[in-house]
Amino acid sequence: MNRILKFVRTTLAGGVLFLLPVVVVVIIVGKALAIAREIVTPLATRLPVESVIGLETPKLLAITLLVLLCFLAGVFARTRLAQKMVARLETTVLFNVPGYEFFKGVSRSLLGQEKHLAHPVVLARIEDAWQIALLMERLEGGHVAVFVPDVPSPQSGSLYFMTEDRIKLMDVPSAAAMKCLKRYGLDSNALLGKQLALLNQETKSGIGDAGE
């Protein structure tokens, strides 16, 4: 019963965390298009063309204006002033939002903005099983902090402190690992099959050496 309640709770939490940014983006884009359309409508009425590729001229001009503004915002985001503003906002507000820093790193790796993952994917040995996890930090004394995401909602999970010999670094993108968890382990063979087989061989070799 507790497992069922935990599954329902984590699934609902994952759904909310997934839908919330989507709804916010849809609302913002809708409002932005409405404002842009009001701006370009006087110009569109003066143009001889009423529609292009099936889109009304005001709507097409509004979309073009939004794309141009996004591009200019991207250019501005590269400036020192913008980076200082974002850094201040993150320090004072965003880093206090649970999971912001973690999912920011995952998003940056997904977009290819970071060559080295902030939180590498590992397999963590918990009891007699290996679980997909993320290496959060190395501690003094040979211990590590690993985050083990829940299935199918990797936005939540459990934090473990364990010795480093109980984890294995995986050459796996964090975005691919999160996708595997969301799909209840589907495509695990393509993602981790060979590496799990090597771990199995190492474990058997270790048992054999211990027996001798």
- The residue among 9, 15, 11 whose CA lies nearest residue 151 is 11
- Name the 3-class secondary structure at 137: strand
pTM above 0.75, yes or no: no
The predicted structure's pLDDT at residue 69: 82
Q: What DSSP designation does 1 have? A: -
What is the 3-state composition of the chain as percent helix, strand, coil, each rounded to the nearest 5?
A: 60, 15, 25
Task: Provide the edge-to-edge strand list for the sheet that holds 129-138.
Answer: 157-163, 143-149, 129-138, 121-126, 167-169
Res. 116: pLDDT tops 50: no
- The mean predicted confidence, pLDDT, of the chain is 75
Angle at which helix 174-182 crosses helix 100-110, to 10 degrees, equals 110
CA-to-CA distance for 164 and 144, rounded, in angstroms? 6
How confident is the model over 90-111, as pLDDT tens digits? 666 655 555 555 566 555 554 5
The predicted structure's pLDDT at residue 115: 46
Range in 16-20, 32-36, 141-145, 197-201 with the lowest mean pLDDT: 16-20
177 Cβ neighbours under 8 A, 6+ residues apart: 121, 132, 134, 170, 191
- pLDDT bin (cut points 50, 70, 90) of residue 29 is confident
Res. 194: pLDDT tops 80: yes
Res. 11: pLDDT tops 70: no
209 Cβ neighbours under 8 A, 6+ residues apart: none
Mean of the pLDDT values across residues 115-135?
82
Range in 29-33, 50-54, 82-86, 153-157 with the lowest mean pLDDT: 50-54
How confident is the model over 147-176, as pLDDT tens digits? 998 888 877 788 999 999 999 998 888 778
> Is the C-alpha dihedral spanning 8, 11, 14, 15 positive or negative?
negative
